[in-house]
Amino acid sequence: MQSLIIAFAMYSKIPMPRADWNDKNMRYAFCWFPVIGLVIGLVELAVFYILTKWQAGSVFRGVCLMAVPLLVTGGIHLDGFMDTTDARSSYGDREKKLAILKDSHVGAFAVIGCSFYLILSAGAWSEIDTKGIVVMAMAFVLERAFSGLAAVNFKGARKDGMLTAFREPARKRTVTVVLAAEAVISAIVMCYLWLPVGLLCSLGAVLTFVYYYKMAMKEFGGTTGDLAGWFLQTCELVMLMLTVVGKIILA
């Protein structure tokens, strides 16, 4: 339970009781990471149900649904997405890109990338229907399971940083098995809820995961906390867009 508290305290804004951040308690923290996605998914379902019952407009509903993950997580993953966008847009060498990731200043490309992301996300969420929202609720679990697998198993680009602090004490084999099981279960549930779109989203998540690995190794020499945030936001947008595409095709 200490691991659960640490995971929620780090990767969400949900108030948690105090826990000791030592190696023993952080050992299985990544196992609970997908549970944060489940919480986000449940909040999304509640917001969708309430706004639909109130007959809110699709645009307003879409913006509210887009805001839910940011409010629950405090935007920690979007911050990583922005830093990574800045670094990749520099087209510099590996050292320069890693230096940009550590820079606390916000660059123009980070702002442009974030704005583009939020516009696409809000537009896609406004198209989500009853079948799509239940699939996306589980998509938050799937993307975090993949993110945890990458954090534990991918080579680190640096020897310090928050991701390293979580990865080093982790029981790699146990955490990998648990996260893999969570990924499989969430994918199965998505397919059960809406088979064609569930399959499409699961495939999209796998391909995004593969691209993330190749990009991180080639451009940064490994993964970092910022790159993990980039993956999470990108994977979320990919599955969201595929859900909308599936809805249009199957309409």
Arithmetic mean of pLDDT over the chain? 94
Structure token pair of residue 113: 């990338």
Number of Cβ within 10 Å of residue 160's Cβ equals 10
Distance CA 47, CA 55 (A): 12
The rounded distance, in Å, linking the Cα atoms of 147 and 176 is 11
What are the CB-based long-range contacts (under 8 Å, 24+) for 176-184? 176/149, 176/152, 178/28, 178/31, 179/30, 179/31, 179/33, 179/34, 179/145, 179/148, 179/149, 179/152, 180/145, 180/149, 182/31, 182/34, 182/141, 182/145, 183/34, 183/142, 183/145, 183/146, 183/149
Average pLDDT over residues 220-234: 96
Report the candidate in 151, 177, 169 with the shortest Cα–Cα distance to residue 25.
169
Give me the mean pLDDT over the 205-229 stretch: 97
pLDDT at 169: 66
pTM above 0.85, yes or no: yes
Residue 5's pLDDT band, with cuts at 50, 70 and 90, is very high
What average pLDDT score do residues 144-150 get? Answer: 96
- Residue located via tokens 């997405």: 81
pLDDT in tens, 111-130: 999 999 999 999 999 999 99
Residues contacting 59, CB < 8 A, separation 6+: 122, 126
- Which of 20-24, 46-50, 148-152, 193-197 comes out lowest in average pLDDT? 20-24
Q: Please state, for a pLDDT cut of 70, what percent of the chain lies above it.
A: 96
Geometric angle at alpha carbon 110, from 107 and 113, rounded to 5°? 150
pLDDT cut 90: percent of the chain above it: 84
Question: Within 10 Å of residue 22's Cβ, how many Cβ atoms?
Answer: 11
Provide the pLDDT for residue 222. 95
Identity of residue 226: D
pLDDT at residue number 11: 95
Per DSSP, the three-state class of 156 is strand
Cα-Cα-Cα-Cα dihedral sign, residues 138, 140, 141, 147: positive
84-108 per-position pLDDT tens digit: 999 999 999 999 999 999 998 999 9
**Given this model, what pLDDT does residue 167 score?**
67
CB 86 within 8 A of CB 109: yes
**pLDDT surpasses 80 at 168:** no
Element (H or E) spanning 31, and its range? none
Residue 234 has pLDDT above 90, yes or no: yes
pLDDT score of 58: 96
pLDDT, position 162: 67
